[in-house]
Amino acid sequence: MFLGTFTPKLDDKGRFFLPAKFREELASGLVITREPDRCLAIWPTEVFQAEVAKAATGPSTRQRTRFYQRMVASGASDELADSQGRVVIPAPLRDYAGLSKDIVVIGAFNRLEVWDAKTWEAYSAAQEEVFADLDEAGWDID
């Protein structure tokens, strides 16, 4: 499970240090994909494969299914952390998420998300009030 907020820096080669507490879980491989909120997701390979299996069950005749499959698969990148725990984020993915030197890595239960620091700050601030006002009737995660 991925929990917490971390603030590593991207180097000139587009690499960052994975938070140490997650390196073992991601040691066998990871997949970086686009997420709809202009951030990136880092999935353990096995978890990503399970997500792909779910997405692949949708009918290819349905436009939304095709769109989702294309956008996720075309932007996905298989990666391995190096011996120091650094991961390269490919340039097209950095561009999609608007990543510069200052990034935020957050735990999102079954994946990590990578955000541009200013984008995360704005998103998080905008969602604080919504989150604070959630009640049982408004909590719909299905």
Q: For residues 118, 103, 28 and 141, what is the CA-based torsion angle, rounded to 10 degrees?
A: -20
The pLDDT of residue 53 is above 70: yes
pTM of the entire structure?
0.91
CATH of the domain spanning 5-135, picked from 3.90.1150.10, 3.40.1550.20, 3.40.50.150, 3.50.50.60: 3.40.1550.20
- CA of residue 34 relative to chain centroid, distance: 7
Give me the percent of the chain exceeding a pLDDT of 70: 95
Residue 68, judged by CB atoms within 10 A of its CB (0-12, 13-18, 19+), counts as middle
Q: For residues 49, 54, 57 and 59, what is the CA-based torsion angle, rounded to 10 degrees?
A: -110
CA atoms within 13 A on the CB side of 14: 12
Confidence grade of residue 58 (pLDDT, cut at 50, 70, 90): confident
pLDDT in the model for residue 95: 98
pLDDT in the model for residue 136: 63
What residue ranges do the domains of the chain occupy? 5-135
